[in-house]
Copies of this chain bind each other. A is one copy, B any other.
Amino acid sequence: MVEPDGKLKKRTLYSDEIREVIKQAIISEELKPGERVVETRWAKKLGVSQSPVREAIRDLEMMGFIENRPYQGAFVRKMDKKDVIDAYYVREALEMAAMRYAVEVITDDQLEDILNVMEEMKQAVKDGNFELFVEKDSLFHEKIMQVSNNELLIKLWNQCKIREYTSISAWISDLTLETLAERHNSLYLALKTKNKEMAIEAVTEHFEVLIEEMNNIS
């Protein structure tokens, strides 16, 4: 499988890789909301058979990117304002659960790790690097979730986090990134001081603001 020039040449693509390709197509809006995702088309396009494409589509359905109707096909999920707000409510519940537990068990190493991510996030804002900000923001919350050490919690959280991708770019411009970044301070502070009430307050406020801003778009 290793060619003379040292490059890897794979015989075929795995369903995981196909999933990522289609996912990127959705995120980049190459595939638009409501549009159909035809198994055979993508199979031909990627030079693979129908089976792994089918699996990829099923995975994307579970992740919330796609809606699947029996014998009718798969469609890129349309996400309206309510969907996004609903997702925020769920995320609030899950991150609240994580934080309540995290303040009791977080280690110094984990605290430092999270602080670093927050600094990188602020730097990304200063540099005006939107992509990097989104990545670091996501990582910041992910680190907190991981402290909870609750596999199921993390799994579900990942499923509702996804829904941001397609919407965030639409409204982020109306906010100053700085404000968003600064808001993570209180989350970090609650963890650092191991203050449960502050943690609850911080999460509540974090999402109140996000939901509020989402409501003001229309």
Q: Which A residues have a C-beta under 8 Å from some C-beta of B?
A: 51, 55, 58, 62, 64, 83, 86-87, 89-90, 92-94, 96-97, 101, 150-153, 156, 159-160, 163
Contacts and interface: CB of A to CB of B under 8 A. Distances in A.
Contact of A156 (B101, B151, B160): B160
A153 B90 contact: yes
B97 A93 contact: yes
Contacts of A62: 62
Contacts of A151: 83, 86
Given A51-B51, A156-B159, A156-B160, A150 B58 contact: no
B51 A86 contact: no
A64 B62 CA distance: 13
21 contacts: A55-B58, A62-B62, A64-B152, A83-B152, A86-B150, A86-B152, A89-B101, A90-B94, A90-B97, A90-B150, A90-B153, A90-B156, A93-B93, A93-B94, A93-B96, A93-B97, A93-B153, A94-B94, A152-B160, A152-B163, A156-B156
